[in-house]
């Protein structure tokens, strides 16, 4: 993901100005000659008194915060567009979007009550629940998890069978666990690859120190392209390991007390994503304006174009953006049990609810 410094985003509230109209009184003159006698005017029927219609003040918007898992970039365009276009306000919400960063964890901030909602990976939420943090997801906006592994296009690696005997550079985390699950599911022993723990700098791949490199398919392939390297990307979702990402979550306590607010958040962000994907140029303008650092417009636009395929999958088109399935949560659990040490007795179904999705 793109790294920039963070800046807190606030929802700008428009002040309502009440104007008072002053009524002027006019004075008359007295005639100097006597007025002729006149007969009394016929009595008139007094108009019935009218009562001004009562007005009910609009309810105050509900103030909540949303913590991003990383610095501002196109990956969060749905939320940023929802803020800019007034979709949160339409749902009666006053939302503050707080960026993430290297030492900022939405899991702990939401669990502690510092933030109301957060966005994070489904695997991280499962680990959180295994550690006793009662967090619940109400939607996953990336139907297709972008965790992946890539190779240079001229490496000769075209299929999963070509991985055998090659050197893979990895970072501990979702993409590496998903890569191992992908290999195992397709009959390839991960131990048949030489495994090297690397950082996030892609130089080992470019320099030939490794043949494969774990990545997020919506970011690092673009970085490679921008540096003149063509790559081939293998996404575990496409090879039978179907998990989702970018989960909107809150605490069980908040969800139980304010289910309407949680569902309003889901609706607004889903609407924001729908608009962003249909209006990518405008959406990128919104992302760039929200970032405290100067981002590359070209990079963010290409990232948003890639994200489209991870958000508007056939399932999302049929059921709506944010759609979740128990099967994908269970797959995420299985991957973490096998490759991440997750407690196998964890109830994955407790980590999410479809009540905001009509389920």
The tens digit of pLDDT for each residue in 286-324 reads: 999 999 999 999 999 999 999 999 999 999 999 999 999
C-alpha 319/C-alpha 307 separation (Å) is 18
**Same domain assignment for residues 247 and 337:** yes
**Same domain assignment for residues 247 and 138:** yes
R_g (Cα) of the chain, nearest Å: 29
The tens digit of pLDDT for each residue in 171-186 reads: 999 999 999 999 999 9
Contact, 103 vs 69, CB < 8 A?
no
**Same domain assignment for residues 170 and 290:** no
Find the DSSP H helices in the chain.
77-84, 87-90, 106-111, 122-130, 174-185, 203-206, 220-226, 252-257, 259-278, 280-290, 297-311, 314-319, 326-340
**Same domain assignment for residues 260 and 206:** no
Q: Which domain holds residue 100?
A: 62-144+243-351
**Same domain assignment for residues 129 and 263:** yes
C-alpha 212/C-alpha 203 separation (Å) is 12
232 has pLDDT over 80: yes
Q: What is the CATH number of the domain that holds 327?
A: 3.40.190.10
**Same domain assignment for residues 203 and 337:** no
Contacts from 108-115 at CB under 8 Å and sequence distance 24+?
Answer: 109/67, 110/67, 110/135, 110/249, 110/250, 110/251, 111/135, 111/251, 113/251, 114/67, 115/65, 115/66, 115/67
In a domain, 224, yes or no: yes
In a domain, 21, yes or no: no
**Same domain assignment for residues 298 and 252:** yes
DSSP letter (8 states) at residue 239? G
In a domain, 234, yes or no: yes
Contact, 126 vs 333, CB < 8 A?
yes
In a domain, 357, yes or no: no
Contact, 245 vs 122, CB < 8 A?
yes
83 has pLDDT over 90: yes
State the pLDDT at residue 6: 34
Contact, 216 vs 147, CB < 8 A?
yes
**Same domain assignment for residues 138 and 257:** yes
207 has pLDDT over 80: yes
What global pTM score does this model have?
0.83
């Amino acid at each position: 993901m793109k790294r920039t410094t963070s800046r807190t985003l606030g929802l700008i509230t428009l002040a309502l100005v009440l104007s008072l109209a002053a009524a002027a009184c006019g004075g008359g003159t007295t005639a100097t000659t006597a007025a002729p006698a006149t007969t009394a005017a016929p009595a008139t029927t007094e108009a019935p008194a009218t009562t001004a219609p009562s007005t009910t003040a609009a309810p105050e918007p509900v103030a909540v915060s949303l913590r991003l898992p990383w610095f501002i970039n196109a990956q969060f365009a749905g939320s940023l567009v929802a803020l800019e276009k007034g979709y949160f306000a339409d749902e009666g919400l006053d939302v503050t979007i707080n960026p993430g960063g290297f030492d900022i964890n939405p899991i702990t901030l939401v669990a502690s009550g510092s933030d109301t909602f957060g966005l994070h990976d489904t695997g991280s939420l499962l680990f959180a629940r295994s550690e006793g943090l009662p967090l619940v997801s109400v939607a996953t906006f990336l139907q297709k998890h972008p965790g992946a592994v890539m190779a240079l296009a001229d490496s000769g690696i075209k299929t999963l069978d070509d991985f055998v005997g090659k050197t893979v550079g990895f970072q501990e985390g979702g993409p590496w666990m998903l890569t191992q699950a992908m290999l195992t599911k397709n009959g390839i022993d991960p131990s048949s690859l030489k495994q090297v723990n690397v950082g996030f700098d892609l130089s080992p791949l470019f320099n030939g120190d490794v043949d494969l490199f774990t990545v997020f398919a919506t970011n690092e392939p673009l970085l490679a392209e921008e540096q003149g390297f063509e790559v081939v990307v293998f996404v575990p979702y496409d090879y039978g390991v179907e998990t989702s990402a970018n989960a909107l979550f809150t605490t069980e306590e908040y969800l139980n007390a304010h289910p309407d607010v949680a569902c309003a958040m889901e609706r607004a962000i889903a609407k924001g994503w729908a608009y962003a994907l249909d209006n990518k140029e405008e959406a990128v303008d919104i992302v760039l304006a929200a970032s405290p650092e100067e981002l590359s417009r070209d990079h963010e636009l290409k990232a948003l174009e890639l994200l489209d395929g991870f958000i508007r999958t056939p399932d999302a088109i049929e059921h709506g953006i944010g759609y979740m399935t128990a099967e994908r949560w269970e797959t995420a659990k299985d991957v973490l049990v096998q490759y991440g040490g997750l407690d196998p007795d964890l109830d994955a179904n407790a980590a999410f609810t479809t009540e905001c999705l009509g389920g």
